[in-house]
Amino acid sequence: MKRILSGMRPTGKLHLGHYVGALENWVALQKDYENFHLIADYHVLTTQLDTTDIAQNTLEMVKDWLAAGIDPELSPIFRQSRIKEHAELFLLLSMLITKARLERNPTLKEQVRDLNLDNIAYGYLGYPVLQSADILLYKGELVPVGKDQAPHVEIARELARRFNKTYGKVFPEPRPKLTKFSRLPGLDGKSKMSKSLGNAILLSDEPDAIQAKLHGAYTDPLKVRKHDPGRPEICLVYTHHTRFNAAQSPEIKAGCESGSLGCVDCKRMCGEAIAKHLEPFRERRRYYDERPDELQTVLHDGEARAKIVAQDTMVQVRAAMGLG
């Protein structure tokens, strides 16, 4: 079975955008691949020094992974910071790449622009090197990512090649497994769904909260009255129907276009469909909310399993480099 390494930074509770863009895919891949799920808590520190929320955000994220259907028996879930081999491989790989190569990284350039970061940390420049260490430590062959992360997987490929050529073959060259990335629009209709922009439906939201959020969602501005014809193709509520209410969405589309369906009813139906989809998620989340010890066991067990693989790889790495 091919091995997949997937990872996310722990930013707290996840929303529908995370689900559609990544998590749904992770769950589907469990059957056909061996999966390792990494919590990138070191990566958080590349852009933020405040560690106050990391532990809690990690637990919230893991609960959402489990809620969405990740099976921790099949797929180890582990914190990067608990497996020191990440730090060691990161150090060694950092010798195999130039500063100029890292400065060309388009994701870095974009984030520097978006976040207005003038003086980035030395560690932030190395972000993709740390990510490469994450992947190569487990000899991940496939990495499920959205388009924005593909340049990082490319760097991991280059590093694997460079290492193998210099010291002898240890690593497979990982490949990105691009998610059929439907970027879910946020409820404000302005940008993609994001918790910090306050335009997101959380996976853990109760039905009432989902209804309330959808009620305030932005729709076609030309559909002012209930019977005005609308344009579903520009409406984010309709996008949500296509993802979470596929069977009904042709009918919704026709109703919106003809003016027989108003936005209030359309939003209510959408909220019901999303709440129904998320109901088993909420149930599984509740299970772990009530059993914090079991959640800790999931992490400790995942970390023990991950560590075995990581240690084995590092024995090979040190031997290849003459450091063994």
Binding site for ligand TRP (CB under 6 A): 5-9, 38, 40, 43, 131, 134-135, 143, 145, 149
Pairing mode of beta strands 77-79, 34-39: parallel
Give Cα 242 distance to the centre of its chain: 21
Q: Which is nearer to ligand TRP, 135 or 317 (CB)?
A: 135
In the bound complex, what is the minimum distance in angstroms from residue 274's beta carbon to ligand TRP?
Answer: 24
Closest to ligand TRP by CB, 102 or 209: 102
CB of residue 318 vs ligand TRP: minimum separation in angstroms? 22
Q: Judge whether 139 and 310 are in contact, CB under 8 Å.
A: no
Q: Please state the closest distance from residue 199 (CB atom) to ligand TRP, in A.
A: 19
* Closest separation in Å from C-beta 43 to ligand TRP: 5
CB of residue 146 to ligand TRP, shortest distance in Å: 8
In the complex, minimum distance from the CB of residue 75 to ligand TRP, in angstroms, rounded to a whole number = 14
Nearest to 96 by CA among 132, 121, 123: 132
Q: Which one, 6 or 25, has the nearer CB to ligand TRP?
A: 6
Minimum distance, C-beta of residue 40 to ligand TRP, in the bound complex (Å): 4
Kindly tell me the sign of the dihedral angle through the C-alpha atoms of 94, 98, 100, 105: negative
Cβ–Cβ under 8 Å, residues 18 and 27:
no
| Helices 292-321 + 85-93 axis angle, to 10 | 40
Q: How far is the CB of 67 from ligand TRP (least distance, A)?
A: 19
* Helix axis angle, 127-137 to 292-321, nearest 10°: 90
- The distance of Cα 165 from the centroid of its chain, to the nearest Å, equals 32
Of the pair 203, 217, the CB lying nearest ligand TRP is at: 203
Phi, psi of 46 (to 5 degrees): -70, -25
For residues 7 and 76, which CB has a smaller minimum distance to ligand TRP in the complex?
7
Q: Which helix (H) or strand (E) holds 290?
A: none
Report the residue number, 132 or 199, with the smaller CB distance to ligand TRP: 132
CA-wise closest residue to 78 among 291, 318, 309: 309
Decide whether 80 or 199 has the Cβ nearer to ligand TRP.
80
Kindly provide the b/e burial profile for residues 122-149, where b requires at least 16 CB atoms within 10 angstroms of the residue's own CB. eebbbbbbbbbbbbbbbbbbbbbbbeeb
Taking the least distance from each CB to ligand TRP, the nearer of 9 and 213 is 9
According to DSSP H, which parts of the chain are helical? 16-18, 24-29, 41-44, 54-68, 85-93, 99-103, 106-114, 122-125, 127-137, 150-167, 207-215, 236-244, 249-258, 263-289, 292-321
- How far is 173 from 226, CA to CA, in rounded Å? 55
Pairing of strands 34-39, 142-145: unpaired
Quote the least distance from Cβ 151 to ligand TRP, whole Å.
11
CB nearer to ligand TRP: give 135 or 274: 135
Burial zone of 154 (CB within 10 Å; 0-12 exposed, 13-18 middle, 19+ buried): middle
